[in-house]
Amino acid sequence: MSVKQNLDKVYEQIRLACQKCNRNIEEIKIIAVTKYVDINKTIEVLEVGIANIGESKTQDAKSKLEQIQDKAIWHFIGHLQTNKVKDVVGQFQYIHSLDRLSLAKEINKKAEQLNITVPCFVQINISGEESKHGLEPSQAKEFIAGLAAYPAIQVIGLMTMAPYGAVQEETRPIFRQLKELQLELQKNNWSHAPLTELSMGMSNDFTVAVEEGATYIRLGTILLGSSSNK
């Protein structure tokens, strides 16, 4: 199946999900996660009209960035080590995995050097799995309030991941809780943290995520297949 055929199917599913919950399909942005595929497949993604590209490791992204950086909008979606910040800020426009102040400090420092602002998502570990990164929901308010000290960071939303291998309907309460947390936190009216976006939903569970309020869905396998080389 070509990327185009896969994308057509995905759009159909998004459309149905939007119908079900009365959402405007234009609120949902697809990030094509290209971590499993090479540069040619990544170019194919751009050619079918997806501009948002997601990568979770700087090594995997490096050669793609060198070749096609200007042609896409880059989202860093993986766990971000502090010593890798220099390879991310200025290369990727969005960071989805802000989860600690030491990381915020480093992002802010690098962004100030480049004289840019970095839109970030704060990653929340709703499911409570120990293997997952992200803040506990109860820590989110204090953490985000503290981010006001880092003026080059704009907190545009929250991000979460559902448990690995969960069947679709098991993910619904997780996405719902992220939405509820967003609404709760928005009451603070922070100018540094408008929190208008929700990054949630992957190949297995994006329709549920859309029904529960996702604005960015991160799709790898369903668009690009699961390659054997990674």
Ligand X SMILES: *Cc1c(COP(=O)(O)O)cnc(C)c1O
| Binding stretches for ligand X (CB under 6 A) | 33, 35, 56, 77-78, 161, 202-204, 218-222
Least distance in Å: CB of 143 to ligand X?
A: 19
**189: CB partners within 8 A, 6+ apart:** none
Q: What's CA 209's distance to the chain center, in Å?
A: 13
Tell me whether residue 152 or residue 178 sits nearer to ligand X (CB atom).
178
Output 28 or 33, the one with its CB closest to ligand X: 33
Q: Which residue is nearest to ligand X (CB)?
A: 220
Minimum separation from the CB atom of position 180 to ligand X (A)? 21
Could you give the CA distance from residue 34 to residue 151 in angstroms, rounded to a whole number? 30
Nearer to ligand X, 153 or 222 (CB): 222
DSSP of 66-129:
HHHGGGSEEEE-S---GGGHHHHBTTBSEEEEE--HHHHHHHHHHHHHHT--EEEEEEB--S--
Output 30 or 111, the one with its CB closest to ligand X. Answer: 30
Q: How far apart are CA 216 and CA 157, in angstroms?
A: 10
| Smallest separation (angstroms) from ligand X to the CB of 112 | 27
